[in-house]
Structure 1
Amino acid sequence: MAQSKDSAQSKLEQFLGEYLDTPTAKQSTERPFPKREPIKHILIGSEKAVTSTIHYLQVIGYASVGDWSPLVPTGNPDEVMSILIRQILMQ
């Protein structure tokens, strides 16, 4: 049964799954966590432009290529998008 549930999830849900996990009640009472909020980066453009930008962001140390979602067509001709979700500390 678990396999059919996994296969029902979209690729995007699988990609985002690691970012949606929250600490259990026990974990949150054992030690306080700093407040974190997700920030979403969306790249939209030609496949070449999006891929090039993703690689550049890795070169400058901002995000690894593997951190980005797979390229997804936007519905516009020759246009794709990729999403990166980061958790940032809020003060």
Structure 2
Amino acid sequence: MTGDFNLFDRPAFGDDSDPSAGQERVRVIIFGSKEVVRATIHDLYLKNFRRIESWSPLLPTPDPTVFMSISTEYRIMH
């Protein structure tokens, strides 16, 4: 993987919808080993923090021992 990876210049992973006015995209990112990322996603689901399906597949990072997953959801802003 090259050093020019920039998460914020890319569209949301797995989410190409166009949110209606009054909504804002929110991303949460987890970094760690494959096992830790998967376990954390499961724990956050059990705490009703994020739905399992809101997370991207495991994505590589420049460090081959570290992976990430990104959860993208939309919040209604008042």
Task: Please give the TM-score of this superposition, normalised by the length of structure 2.
Answer: 0.73
Greater relative contact order structure (CA < 8 Å, 6+ sep): 2
1:1-91 to structure 2, matched below 5 A, reads 15-17=14-16, 20-23=17-20, 35-91=22-78
TM-score, length basis structure 1 = 0.64
Where does residue 28 of structure 1 map in the other structure? none
1: distance between equivalents of 2:32 and 2:57? 14
Give structure 1 stretches of 5+ with no counterpart.
1-11, 24-32
Unaligned segments of structure 2, at least 5 residues? 1-10
Amino acid at match of 1:43: I
Shift of 1:15: 0.8
Aligned-partner residue type, residue 40 of structure 1: R
Higher strand share: 2
RMSD between aligned residues: 2.0
Say which one has the larger Rg. 1
Identity %: 31
* SS of the residue 1:69 aligns to: coil
